[in-house]
Structure 1
Amino acid sequence: MIRKILIANRGEIAVRVIRTCRELGIKTVAVYSEADRDSMHVKLADESICIGPPEPSKSYLDIPRIMASIEVSSSDGVHPGYGFLSENPKFAEIVEASGKVFIGPSSETLELIGDKIKAKEVARKVGIPLVPGSDGPVDFQKALEIAKEIKYPVVIKSAGGGGGRGIRVVYDEKELREKLPLAMQESKLAFGDERVYIEKYLINPKHIEVQVLADNYGNVITLGERECSIQRRYQKLVEEAPSASIDDSQRKLLEEAVVEFCKAINYRGAGTVEFLMDQEGNFYFMEMNGRIQVEHPVTEMITGVDIVKEQIKVAMGERLSIKKVERRGYAIEFRINAEDPYIFLPSPGKIEKLFLPGGLGIRIDTHIYCGYRIPPFYDSLIAKLVVWGKNREEAIERAKRALEEFVVEGEGLKTNVDFHRRLLATREFRTAKHHVRFLEEMLL
């Protein structure tokens, strides 16, 4: 039985978890850095503990400090949210060894899917197509041989992580020679693992992912797919559910493949299996994320399922409460970032004027408030605007209205709200003809 959960995260996801815990009658403990002393998650939690200075390495990524906070607060479990330590197998293992509950997959599962090469091998075994490329890590000579075989362009990817880090697109041998060591260096700095692999670079694919829930008793259920093709620098900005780009037969094949993959790795909790879809409608396995996703609200909006609640119940040893998923309507999520969207620079500062949209079919997940000072030390995400409509057209019109109402202002503060408005006005987005490199073209 879990009576108290420590949330090893910050910002809107910490607020999100606190709210679900409160509905379950579970006490919460917020941890915070000195820069987050006035953050909303600190105000909402039943207890709060300062875990260090602003730098993530000395606070939110410091495992000993997090573990000490769990012990001091007598928490029964820890919810890692997304980012930070959420997919760190060492952290999960330490939590498990301490007798506490890690609300997520087992440490063994996290280690497996965290290694992109091993995850791809599981996908191969269960019959999921892979993008042509190397079977394992490569050095320059091996990369050169494979690139000649599958033809340029190719993409270099990190074996030990994701999130767009360590990725380099290569168009010829000269670039391969230059970019391979850079990708290996970035991978080592980001993930402590310099191994990289290469794949064929798909031209203008779409990014499709499937949300899954699984318990400890072999039950696996999918909650449908999301399309996340609006990205910049491999970072998602807009997500939709369902995807307007696939049909029911493709959807069925994807979901069946995801169930087989999750059973093969004894998956537990909430997770997402990600795919690329080429221009011919072929799907290729990318990776699995063993955590709650930033974009989970769009799936909740069309299914009515509280994914965080299911996460916690599964961690408590309960069976999945969902037997059949009914999907209704269409939902779109817009990530609202404190940044200059055209040069991708963060824009921290004090919020002096704030108005959040409302009305039918509108959901706002955020940790900001008027007077809140956005710190410069973390991800620039400050809110998620999620809209629902009976269909995609209605959702887009509702989004236009909501974005017109959305006001976040402060001295020197910039956001991407106007950028989203501009996106909605494009013919490519309105007709669902966009792809993962659309924003690069739009910004030219």
Structure 2
Amino acid sequence: MAAERRAKADTLTLRRRLLSSSCRLFFPEDPVKIVRGHGQYLYDERGAEYIDCINNVAHVGHCHPLVVQAAHEQNQVLNTNSRFLHDNIVDYAQRLSETLPEQLSVFYFLNSGSEANDLALRLARRYTGHQDVVVLDHAYHGHLSSLIDISPYKFRNLDGQKEWVHVAPLPDTYRGPYREDHPNPAEAYASEVKRVVSNAQKKGRKIAAFFAESLPSVGGQIIPPAGYFSKVAEHIRGAGGLFVADEIQVGFGRVGKHFWAFQLHGEDFVPDIVTMGKSIGNGHPIACLATTQAVSNAFENTGVEYFNTFGGNPVSCAVGLAVLDTVEKEQLQAHATHVGDILMELLRQQKAKHPIIGDIRGTGLFIGVDLIKNEAMRTPATEEAEYLVSKLKENYILLSTDGPGRNVLKFKPPMCFSLDNAQHVVARLDDILTGKRGASPVTQPRLGI
């Protein structure tokens, strides 16, 4: 606790001396020093309370008492690796299986979403005997070397695209080639995947997998058109590959209507592999991969065991069970639908009022606000978005941006984010956009646009 009493400036000095500058902070010009969290709120060293609109990791709320209690109680009894027989890991796998299509019946437990996606890549290559991967433009799937290679968001700024990686257009109906006025954007964007696969095959390449975030987040809080995944799966499986649904950002009821975001594409669509992380442990380092028996069998037949020292340990699984219990007991899935729908409507009212807001998109508590400089060109309003996030922070609201233009305000708050929170955040957003409460207005003339 003594470190909490250290002056913010001293903490920042120590961080800059001891940590790499590539380990970036939120609000780098004026970082917030957070010392405590509760529910959807974070508190700085002065005791100031912030509404957290960023943290999808703290899925059921910061320091949720049931999750904390579960970890504490199991820690007092046993924490060891999963080579010992223990009830928690099988109980947790059973609970997860009840949320998924019955075909996804085999589970691997890990420590992070990056580990889960790396394992998905290994499984797909083993099952198919192929090497290549199709991904969506602007995608991010993790920080391991194998995943940087399949994350255009990262590799475009590093070593470039590997010959075994093939990039399909992001199914963005606001900025992409097939927009909201297209008669069948799902079919059109899926046809782009088919084209990418065909071009790869002409070069003698063979497809192991298609990786996609079920709702692309880094790409700008994108909602793919309904049915897109089903059509893509046909093309990928026709080429001998597997469909990997990355639910690390959006699983566990965040989309409201469904427990998993891939279910937005219909009951008949079932991925071959689903990866989970972040919200799965409410901040505890746990992750999971679910797949079919056939895919798992192919991996098992290598004769090499899969072992993860901490993945699936008793404490992690106790935490995972507590998160599932909380989502169910507090009806957070229905809550996400209710609050998310109202938040979307409040934001649409702002869109009608402020020309800088080009698009409102989302489902449940996964929402993006696309800011533009020009309605006809839909030019990303990058500087304005940065300014708006900074002013919201001054109003004790933590929000961030994403998208290729860094112009999309992204809402992914803890699932306990309330209706009052939604109304308050939108009211402050309106104040800043109109120049109330002492803020400079975010208008086109302000930045000479």
TM-score bin (small chain): 0.3 to 0.5
TM score, norm. by length of structure 2: 0.33
Structure with higher Rg: it is 2
Report which structure shows greater RCO (CA 8 Å, sep ≥6): 2
Structure with higher helix content:
2
TM score, norm. by length of structure 1: 0.33
